[in-house]
Amino acid sequence: MSYLFTSESVSEGHPDKVADQISDALIDNFLAFDKDSKVACETLVTTGQVVLAGEVKSKTYLDVQKIARDVIRKIGYTKSEYMFEANSCGILSAIHDQSQDINQGVDRSNPEEQGAGDQGMMFGYATNETDNYMPLALDLAHKLLIELAALRRENKEIKYLRPDAKSQVTIEYDDSHQPVRIDSVVISTQHDDFDEEATMLAKIKKDIINILIPRVKAATKPELQKLFNNQIKYHINPTGKFVIGGPHGDTGLTGRKIIVDTYGGKGAHGGGAFSGKDPSKVDRSAAYATRHIAKNLVAAGVADEVLVQVSYAIGVAEPCGIFIDTKGTAKVGLTDGEIAKKVEKIFDMRPYFIEQRLKLRNPIYSETAAYGHMGRNNEVVSKKFYAANGEEKTVEVELFTWEKLDFVDKVKTEFGI
């Protein structure tokens, strides 16, 4: 019996993503000037207002207002009619020192004994149904909004777009869990005001189907292009008018899009958000590490699909446990428990070693804060930062290190593949 599976994404202009991007910009700026910074910062955005809150231990001092305004400007909130605009919004900072009670559980005289920044369980997932080992529905949902943002910035083929948008893709799978077709696509995009609502809706639907969809289809590999057909059900701005959007239309908070950030509902999620947290917080670093494990296992041929769980006690370096679920797709003649034992030998999951292996004490987080933390391109980029005292710093960093397939050979050796 065939079945349907759905995932959603949200654009960089969605209010929750605005909050995530501001929080991660603060993380990057702290780490750029002090790699040992401990940061947990949350952002709230609403009509004409940004509120920053959180705990920080760092040797550097930042102009947090400038950082927040730069993020908002880059996203595209640059017009007063949006009721949330980079130059005029109020910014309130309530950031204060990190609790020593928490810090004593993390810092150690021997860095290798660094404890986990919190308790909890984190999950990583990978599947071979796409080239980037991500679930197909989520991958397409992200691609739709990345292309929509590109069209907005180009301002040529579609000239009425505003920054806020959401997408949703439903895929039909057969009994063998292979994608058969795209069943439906939902896109809600903020837009400039039109004189007549009916004309507006017809124009937006036509442009999405005739301009956006072909661009996304062309960017997918040939065997997936066949999933696009003329039977797709399109729901384009299904509520009608969407002029009021962004932080004016809906309050945004850091960490409210954790399923969009990970696997779109496939696999599992431990509940902890990523954005605004330095890598001593295992909510973030261990989630990246488990994705790294899952992707390398699938790429090595251990299984077609892998879910990895790791768990921690606050202040303790060694994980409480590592769990593997191959969903019955293992190819190595081992139980999932036996696979987990081998994974423990290959990947050191103590927090310090995760940070070192994935180069997490670098300012690499702004790029993660929209369109998903997983399935992204591993690349080296140059970034420039400015301290409150006028100091300028340019750093070269490697992004999305957890997406590297650098452990495939080790996995194959351990599993005899």
142 carries a ligand binding annotation: no
398 carries a ligand binding annotation: no
205 carries a ligand binding annotation: no
Cα separation of 261 and 375, whole Å?
10
What are the Cα distances from residue 202, in Å, to 115, 194, 195?
A: 56, 11, 13
Cα separation of 113 and 316, whole Å?
8
Q: How many CA atoms lie within 13 A of 67 on its CB side?
A: 27
287 carries a ligand binding annotation: no
277 carries a ligand binding annotation: yes
Report long-range pairs for 241-244 (Cβ below 8 Å, ≥24 apart). 241/197, 241/200, 242/164, 242/188, 242/189, 242/190, 242/191, 243/162, 243/190, 243/191, 243/192, 243/193, 244/83
235 carries a ligand binding annotation: no
336 carries a ligand binding annotation: no
Handedness of CA 261, 264, 267, 271 (dihedral sign): positive
228 carries a ligand binding annotation: no
331 carries a ligand binding annotation: no
42 carries a ligand binding annotation: yes
256 carries a ligand binding annotation: yes
| Tokens read off for 220 | 């997918």
φ and ψ of 370, to 5 deg: -145, 145
Local structure of residue 368 (DSSP, 8 states): G
**Element counts in the chain: helices (H) and strands (E):** 13, 13
Contacts of 174 (CB under 8 A, 6+ apart): 2, 180
257 carries a ligand binding annotation: yes
Cα separation of 118 and 186, whole Å?
37
- The distance between the two most distant Cα atoms of the chain, rounded to a whole number of Å, is 67
241 carries a ligand binding annotation: yes
**125 closest CA partner among 372, 356, 352:** 372
356 carries a ligand binding annotation: no
Give the containing element (helix H, strand E) for 181: strand 179-191
Contacts of 180 (CB under 8 A, 6+ apart): 2, 171, 172, 173, 174, 227
Annotated binding-site members for ATP: 14, 164-166, 241-242, 250, 256-257, 273, 277
Annotated binding-site members for Mg(2+): 16
Annotated binding-site members: 14, 16, 42, 55, 98, 164-166, 241-242, 250, 256-257, 273, 277, 281
Annotated binding-site members for L-methionine: 55, 98, 250, 281
Annotated binding-site members for K(+): 42
